[in-house]
Amino acid sequence: MSIVKEEFAELVNEIKENDKEFEITPRTLLDAFWCEKRTSGNQARVDQYLFENQLETEPDYRNGWFDGDIILRHRKRAKAKNESDPIQRLKLLPAANKELVTVQKESTLKEAITLMMLNNYSQLPVMSSTRNVYGVVNWDTIGFALANGCKSDDIKDYTSKYYAILDYDTPLLEAISVIIEKEFALVQKNDKTISGIVTLADISTQFITVTEPFLLLEQIEKHLRQILDSKFLVDDLREFCKIGDIERDIEFIDDLAFGDYLQIFSNPDYWEKLNLSFERSHFIKMLDKVRIIRNDIMHFDPEGITKEQREDLTKMAKFLMLTRKF
């Protein structure tokens, strides 16, 4: 005879595989084990089964009315705070979601040049509808045509078929190689509408947005290490940075974590040894802000950092750079 009745085993599989939960009673739970009462022995059998299958009841089946409602469910799973796509995709770029400035194939060269100059664009899609691309006109195609004696005022005579269309969900790293080769790419949604145009300039902007916080953090940490350099005995730092009774393997200032920096600067005795020319409380307050921002960056928060956080990193990096000169 199996540990539980077949219908209960099926219910448990539903919970484990599909993360469902079911309303039952303590009586039906015990009955699944061919038990009638909540004796200590019966409860031990149920508890062992629930533990092995990572299940729980809310409220506890062992308390309350025998025919009262309880929820049988999977024990709480640890989940990511943000259920985000681990891959950065083309659709994340603002340019991939920006209303297009276009011309039609019946348009004039003068109209195209005017629109490009007014918007500071290097190219314009030539389209007959939001889904149909006839080609692309840019300064190169215009210059090449004029250099070869073209006198036409029709935009179609300056239009190139040399362009790329990338899907909205294209991984950003894949898109970069195409955009480097073509200098730009049109972006197409699932319904085939063209939702934007991404250029080398857009890729460069995104690269700066992603990398700048890391570069600022690196700059800040190097300045902090310089401030601490040769100021303390290795044994003192090991003792100060103990985790409980566990001594950490610290040989160099570089072995310290960012939280260690904050602890050291927060310690009045250590602060005195550093003999710094600025006020401690404001410095520590800003340093703690940097620590929180650093945690967000290192956990790769998909929303990135805010404008205010970027400004805080920039201010701290600049402050340390200036104070290190004196």
Is residue 300 scored above 70 in pLDDT? no
- Kindly report, residue by residue over 158-189, the tens digit of the pLDDT: 999 999 999 999 999 999 999 999 999 999 99
pLDDT band at 48 (very low <50, low <70, confident <90, very high): very high
Q: For residue 72, which of 31, 2, 16, 34 has the smallest C-alpha distance?
A: 16
Average pLDDT for 16-27: 92
Q: Which residue has the higher pLDDT, 246 or 120?
A: 120
Give residue 1's pLDDT: 64
pLDDT band at 306 (very low <50, low <70, confident <90, very high): confident
Written as six digits, the tokens of 169 are: 């969900």
Q: For residue 12, which of 29, 34, 25 has the smallest C-alpha distance?
A: 29
Cα separations in angstroms, 212 against 172, 182, 246, 286, 298: 18, 26, 36, 19, 13
CA distance linking residue 304 with residue 37, whole number of Å? 55
SS3 (DSSP) at 301: coil
Give residue 303's pLDDT: 59
Give residue 76's pLDDT: 85
- Kindly report, residue by residue over 104-119, the tens digit of the pLDDT: 999 999 999 999 999 9
Is residue 84 scored above 90 in pLDDT? no
Q: For residue 24, which of 52, 66, 75, 77 has the smallest C-alpha distance?
A: 66
Tell me what the pLDDT averaged over the chain comes to. Answer: 90
Cα angle: 310, vertex 316, 321; to 5 degrees:
125
CA distance linking residue 249 with residue 234, whole number of Å? 10
Which CATH code for domain 90-202? 3.10.580.10
pTM as predicted: 0.63
Give residue 187's pLDDT: 96
Average pLDDT for 289-297: 90
Chain-centroid distance, C-alpha 78:
18
Give residue 218's pLDDT: 95
Average pLDDT for 278-304: 85
Is residue 132 scored above 70 in pLDDT? yes
Domain boundary assignment for the chain: 6-74, 90-202, 204-323
